[in-house]
Amino acid sequence: AQSVTQLGSHVSVSEGALVLLRCNYSSSVPPYLFWYVQYPNQGLQLLLKYTTGATLVKGINGFEAEFKKSETSFHLTKPSAHMSDAAEYFCAVVAVGAGSYQLTFGKGTKLSVIP
Amino acid sequence: ETGVTQTPRHLVMGMTNKKSLKCEQHLGHNAMYWYKQSAKKPLELMFVYNFKEQTENNSVPSRFSPECPNSSHLFLHLHTLQPEDSALYLCASSQDRTSEYNEQFFGPGTRLTVL
C-alpha cells in the first residue's frame, strides 16, 4: 500500500523567506507524486506533479519540488514567500493496482505567511 | 460554467433529513470522485465512477448513496446522517480512471453540518 507523510501540520514563514514543506512517501513501485494547494473555501488545485524524467519539477506560482528516490521524499519549495501563498498544501502519491490509479493524500500542511 | 462545480456550497441538515449534493464537470472527463475532508484527517476517497460505472466504494456507510447518471454529473444522496458526518465533501474528475497521470480536478466542495 502507498502512504504519504507530511511533516508539520502547520508551518509559518515570513514574507520573502524560503518556503519548505516536507513530504515523504512509501511505495513498492515507482511513484507518481503530486502537490495540491487548497485556498480557504475552495477545492484542491494542482501545483505540480512528478511522473518520470527530470527529478526537479516546476509548478505554478513559483513552486518547485524535487523527487529524491533515495530519500523517498518530494519536498515542496519556493524561494520567496508571498502573502498569497497562505493556504493548505497536500502531497499525494498514486497507487497503481488492478488497472486503476488511486491518489493517496497526506494530512496536509497549513502554511501561514507573516508580513 | 467551467471546471468542476458543486451545489450547494453549504448545507445544514438534521439527522432525519434527506438531502443531495450535486457535482457537475465541464471538462469532458470520464471519471468522477467523491471525497470527504474532515479536520485533521487525510482526504478520504469515498466513491469512484468511471464511464458512469461505480468502480470503488471504500467501505462507505449506506447512509451515503452515490448516483452517476452520465459522465458529467455526480450526486451524493444523504439520509439519516450522524453528526460525525459533518465535513467538507469534495467532488473531483479526471480524464479516466486508468490514466497513469490521473490528474484530478476538484470542485470547491460542499460544507455539510449535521445537527
Identity at A6, one-letter amino acid code: Q
Whether A101 and B104 lie within 8 Å, measured CB to CB: no
Q: Report the pLDDT value the prediction gives residue B98, as an integer from 0 to 100.
A: 72
Q: Report the pLDDT value the prediction gives residue A28, as an integer from 0 to 100.
A: 75
The answer to whether residue B4 scores a pLDDT higher than 60 is yes
Of A43, A96, A108, the CB nearest to B109: A43
Q: Report the pLDDT value the prediction gives residue A97, as an integer from 0 to 100.
A: 62
Q: What is the DSSP letter of A85?
A: G
Q: For the segment A37-80, what is each residue's pLDDT rounded down to a tens digit? A: 999 888 899 999 998 888 999 999 999 999 999 999 999 999 99
Whether B92 and A49 lie within 8 Å, measured CB to CB: no
Q: Average of pLDDT values for B54-64?
A: 87
Whether B4 and A43 lie within 8 Å, measured CB to CB: yes
Check residues B37 and B101 and name the one with the higher pLDDT: B37
The answer to whether B110 and A64 are in contact (CB under 8 A) is no
Whether B45 and A102 lie within 8 Å, measured CB to CB: yes
Whether A103 and B97 lie within 8 Å, measured CB to CB: no
Q: Report the pLDDT value the prediction gives residue A62, as an integer from 0 to 100.
A: 96
For an interface test with A, the pick among B5, B25, B43 (most A C-beta atoms closer than 10 Å) comes out as B43
* Three-state secondary-structure class, residue A60: helix
Q: Report the pLDDT value the prediction gives residue A99, as an integer from 0 to 100.
A: 60
Whether B42 and A102 lie within 8 Å, measured CB to CB: no
Q: Report the pLDDT value the prediction gives residue B1, as an integer from 0 to 100.
A: 64
Q: Report the pLDDT value the prediction gives residue A91, as an integer from 0 to 100.
A: 96
Distance of alpha carbon B115 from alpha carbon B112, whole angstroms:
10
Selected residues 16-75 of chain B with any CB under 8 Å from a CB in chain A: 40-43, 45, 48, 50, 55-56
**Strands (E) located in A15-106:** 19-26, 33-38, 44-50, 56-58, 64-68, 73-78, 87-97, 100-105
Check residues B56 and B115 and name the one with the higher pLDDT: B115
Q: Report the pLDDT value the prediction gives residue A34, as an integer from 0 to 100.
A: 94
The β-bridge relationship of strands A44-50 and B64-70 is: unpaired
Q: In chain B, whose CA is at the least distance from the CA of A95?
A: B100
Is A46 part of the contact surface with chain B (CB cutoff 8 Å)? yes
Q: Average of pLDDT values for B72-95?
A: 95
The answer to whether A21 and A11 are in contact (CB under 8 A) is yes
Residue that the C-alpha cell 488545485 belongs to? A45
The answer to whether B52 and B68 are in contact (CB under 8 A) is yes
Q: Report the pLDDT value the prediction gives residue A98, as an integer from 0 to 100.
A: 55
Q: Which of chain A's residues have a Cβ under 8 Å away from the Cβ of B55?
A: 100
Q: Average of pLDDT values for B31-45?
A: 89
Q: Which of A56, A63, A68, A10 is nearest to A35 (CA)?
A: A63
Q: Which of A84, A30, A22 is nearest to A53 (CA)?
A: A30
Q: Average of pLDDT values for A79-83?
A: 97
Mean model confidence pLDDT for chain A: 91
